[in-house]
Amino acid sequence: MRKIFEIILRGILKENPVLIMMIGLCPFLACSTTANDAVGMGLAATFVLTCSNILISLIRRIIPHNIRIPIFIVVIATFTTIVDYTIKAYFPTLSESLGVFIPLIVVNCIILARAEAFASKNNIFYSFVDGISMGGGFFLAIVILGIIRELLGSGTIFGSKELFSYPAVIMVLPPGGFLAAGVVITITKYIENKLIKKTKIISNLPSSCEGCSLKSTCMEFLKNK
Amino acid sequence: MKTLNMIIVLFIVCCFSAVSLSFLYVKTQPRIQLNKVQKEVKLKKQIIPHMENFVVKSLEKLNIEECFDEKNTLIGILVKNSCKGYGGPIEYLVGIKPEVPLKIIGIKVLSHKETPGLGANVAKDKFLSQFIDKVPQELVLKKDNVQGKIDAITGATITSKAITNSLQELLLDEELNKYILSLSKVQQEHYSLQIKPQRMQSNTKKSSFSAVLEQLTTTYLQQEIQPQQ
């Protein structure tokens, strides 16, 4: 039970894929121009991440080590296409707002990173929880950025009426995305530093280990030593 | 032995993926097509609300649909056209009033591949409603021409320009104009008297377009002014 809690906390806060580990920045910046798009991308990515985590964890014992990456990619691409077809056929209204992003999920490196770092080493249930929590972390990050950019860039929230006139258009354009992402990442880093000071985790690792996806593994290794 | 194992596993995984995907494709494709057709019918109803039945006719370049209401009077002509946007083709459906000069009754975007948040606003009614009831030469972006009456989408100039130009070209299309003229015979004499000499003089297609445009505007303006006097 404790491990499940730990996995969830790690996915959403401690090792948030976008804000702390800095992977999957491409969809994070590209699909956060409006809050609705961000919600769609977050949900679709979470679904594919969870499914691919489960399947890869299921077949992890028969995958030869040398060709694990191609197999991960095939599995992820298959799931993405399944989601694409299913939504198009049975949920046409959802597909209108979400359809553009689904093919983009294949190149979302969070999914490949989780398959490589977690699902290929843990059992099915933990992989499932990890998929949901990592997807949740991505979802939260992208929705926060989407709300900020939509509010400042077009003056609306979730496609509502314009709250004020003359919004700053730059926030919808790519430069605004980088600006907003920088601010959000800075705030998360600040919060993270505060939290770490409170719990007083002493690590002998150099500062360059901050944000590395294998940091927790290294720390555990040092602790056991 | 190790290599063989690798080959077999990769082969099995790929086979599994291919089989499941092809099965899903066969299962879902009819539904996807059906959804597409249903969406188109819904949009057609939105463009011309009183439409009861329609007749498909094909001209040389365009395929058009004549729409009739309950009393079998022609109320509009639907044209499905596409133009090259920023990210790919923009397919749209446009309803045109069956009289010269051509005016737009309504327009809906069927599919596009524009940037979400910027160019994707092309499908919103806020932008598209600007085209309704405008003379062809008003269909220019405001910032390009003083006569233009179309506000571009913020941050998506190429998209706005593409669809505006494409609509203007469609409204000035000789074939479509001729066809619609043949439908409304009252104005035919008026039109041929004014336009034909100009067309003989012009060499290139573009100049003939602009000549038609000028003539159309002058006749249109005269019609506008005369009742007021």
| Helix (H) or strand (E) segment spanning residue A46 | helix A35-58
Q: Is A206 on the interface with B (CB under 8 A)?
A: no
Q: Is A78 on the interface with B (CB under 8 A)?
A: yes
pLDDT at B41: 82
Q: What would you measure as the largest C-alpha separation in chain A, in angstroms? A: 61
* Residues on chain A touching B31 (C-beta within 8 angstroms): 89-90
Chain A nearest CA to B22, separation (Å): 10
Chain B nearest CA to A161, separation (Å): 12
* Residues on chain A touching B17 (C-beta within 8 angstroms): 74-75, 77-78
Please tell me the distance from the alpha carbon of residue A25 to that of residue A185, in angstroms, as a whole number.
11
Cβ separation B6–A64 shorter than 8 A: yes
* Residues on chain B touching A62 (C-beta within 8 angstroms): 9
Q: What is the pLDDT of residues A143-163, one digit of tens each?
A: 999 999 989 888 888 877 777
Bigger pLDDT: B105 or A97? B105
Percent of chain A with pLDDT over 70: 91
Whether the CA torsion A188, A190, A192, A198 is positive or negative: it is negative
pLDDT at A208: 64
A135 pLDDT more than 70: yes
Cβ separation B28–A89 shorter than 8 A: yes
Q: Is A169 on the interface with B (CB under 8 A)?
A: yes
Bigger pLDDT: A124 or B193? A124
Mean predicted lDDT score pLDDT of chain A: 84
Size of chain A in residues:
225
Q: Is A143 on the interface with B (CB under 8 A)?
A: no
In B, minimum Cα distance to A56 occurs at B13
pLDDT at B11: 92
A83, A150, A154, A165, best to mutate vs chain B, most B CBs in 10 Å: A154
A27 pLDDT more than 90: no
Cβ separation A71–B117 shorter than 8 A: no
The pLDDT tens digits along chain B (229 residues) read 788 988 999 999 999 999 999 999 999 999 988 888 888 888 888 888 777 777 777 777 777 888 877 777 778 888 888 888 888 888 888 888 877 777 888 888 888 888 766 787 888 888 888 888 888 878 888 888 778 888 888 778 888 888 888 888 888 888 788 877 777 654 444 444 444 444 433 343 444 455 555 555 555 555 545 444 3
Least CB-CB distance to A66: which of B6, B113, B155? B6
Please tell me the distance from the alpha carbon of residue A124 to that of residue A133, in angstroms, as a whole number.
14
pTM (predicted TM-score): 0.68
Unique residue bearing structure tokens 């197999």: A71
Q: What is the pLDDT of residues A41-50, one digit of tens each?
A: 888 889 899 9
Residues A206-223, mean pLDDT to the nearest whole number:
72
Residues A112-120, mean pLDDT to the nearest whole number:
88
Peptide bond connecting B101 to the previous residue in cis, omega within 30 degrees of 0 = yes
* Residues on chain B touching A89 (C-beta within 8 angstroms): 27-28, 31-32, 35
pLDDT at B181: 79
A139 pLDDT more than 90: yes
Whether the CA torsion B152, B154, B159, B161 is positive or negative: it is positive
pLDDT at B85: 85
* Residues on chain B touching A59 (C-beta within 8 angstroms): 13
